[in-house]
């Protein structure tokens, strides 16, 4: 039997951080080697298991990133772009793979992530749900098969605390539809409609955003044709599925050479 993979989790006290800690502690394949937070966070020094309301894990939350990485095989990061880039630099310095669940990167920041992947394995995905990644494949296939006669609209809903819009997952679904149609999403996306906007441009891929309550994440891609409508939907009821997918990626990444990977690589969906 292979030894358990030592996983460090950055953003330990966040919603996803807590879900990742819980899933890691429950796994027979993994061991929680470090739970990391920013300096000054009140949970620093607290046992990670106690922090999530479970039994003590013997792993205190730390703000010392490099020592935490030194005792870990892979870092899983769900934080914010600036924190992710700092962690990425540390992973390059110490030679550790990183699984990135952070969204909202600028094009320039994405270039930095790509450069880092020349030195270490980097997995980045807008959504680590296995179901969402299957949906991404289906969205591309449906767009390619249905063709330009069907209008594409994407509706997403998230909790009131989400800071980016549209969600990274909605944008990834848009990219998948655009790829299937042979279009450039940046040139054809419409992120809001108001007033006398005129008839719909047939090349448009539209986005509508809902924010409120405690919605974990709902996404629907609609293909609207004459006389029929096809919808591909995914609804998350909790964050456990995201954590499960991210940790599956961590196990896979530990065996990969340097490079830039996605969940499509992890799940062999690129064929």
Q: Which ranges of the chain does DSSP label H, i.e. alpha helix?
A: 15-26, 48-51, 65-70, 81-94, 107-116, 130-146, 168-181, 185-188, 240-253, 263-266
pLDDT value of position 85: 97
What token pair was written down for 119? 């030195």
pLDDT tens digits for 21-49? 999 999 999 999 999 999 999 999 999 99
Phi-psi sector, 78: left (phi>0), alpha (psi -120 to 50), beta: beta
d(CA 198, CA 24): 51
Residues 150-172, mean pLDDT to the nearest whole number: 94
Q: Is the pLDDT of residue 271 over 80?
A: no
Q: Which of 206-215, 237-246, 250-259 has the lowest mean pLDDT?
A: 237-246
Two tokens, residue 100: 């990135």
β-bridge mates for residue 123, sequence order = 99, 261
Residues annotated as catalytic are 158, 162
Q: What percent of the chain has pLDDT over 70?
A: 99
Contact, 13 vs 43, CB < 8 A? yes
Q: Rounded to whole angstroms, how far apart are CA atoms 104 and 131?
A: 21
Residue 151: per-residue pLDDT? 98
DSSP state of 73: S
Backbone angles phi, psi at 71, to 5 degrees: -105, 15
Say which residue the tokens 């880092």 belong to: 116
At 242-266, the pLDDT tens digits run 999 999 999 999 999 999 999 999 9
Domains of the chain listed by start with CATH number: 5-124+239-266 (3.40.50.720), 130-236 (3.30.360.10)
Q: What pTM was estimated for this model as a whole? A: 0.81
Q: What is the pLDDT of residue 270?
A: 78
Q: Is the pLDDT of residue 202 over 80?
A: yes
Dist. CA 175–CA 190, nearest whole Å = 13
């Amino acid at each position: 039997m292979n030894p358990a993979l030592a996983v460090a989790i950055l953003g330990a006290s966040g919603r996803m951080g807590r879900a990742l800690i819980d899933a890691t502690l429950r796994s027979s394949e993994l061991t929680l080697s470090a739970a990391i937070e920013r300096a000054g966070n009140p949970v620093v020094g607290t046992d990670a298991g106690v922090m999530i309301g479970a039994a003590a894990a013997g792993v205190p939350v730390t703000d010392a990133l490099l020592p935490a990485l030194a005792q870990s095989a892979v870092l899983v990061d769900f934080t914010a772009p600036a924190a992710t880039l700092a962690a990425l630099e540390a992973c390059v310095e110490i030679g550790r793979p990183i699984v990135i669940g952070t969204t909202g990167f600028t094009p320039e920041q994405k270039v930095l992530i790509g450069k880092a992947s020349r030195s270490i394995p980097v997995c980045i995905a807008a959504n680590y749900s296995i179901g969402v990644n299957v949906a991404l494949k289906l969205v591309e296939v449906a767009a390619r098969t249905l063709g330009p006669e069907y209008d594409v609209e994407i509706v997403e809903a998230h909790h009131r605390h989400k800071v980016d819009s549209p969600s990274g997952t909605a944008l990834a679904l848009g990219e998948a539809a655009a790829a299937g149609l042979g279009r450039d999403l940046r040139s054809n996306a419409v992120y809001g409609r108001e007033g006398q906007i005129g008839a719909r441009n047939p090349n448009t891929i539209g986005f509508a955003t809902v924010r409120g309550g405690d919605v974990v994440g709902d996404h629907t891609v609609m293909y609207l044709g004459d006389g029929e409508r096809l919808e591909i939907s995914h609804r998350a009821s909790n964050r456990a599925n995201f954590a499960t997918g991210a940790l599956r990626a961590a196990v896979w990444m530990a065996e990969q050479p340097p490079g830039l990977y996605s969940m499509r690589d992890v799940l062999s969906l690129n064929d």
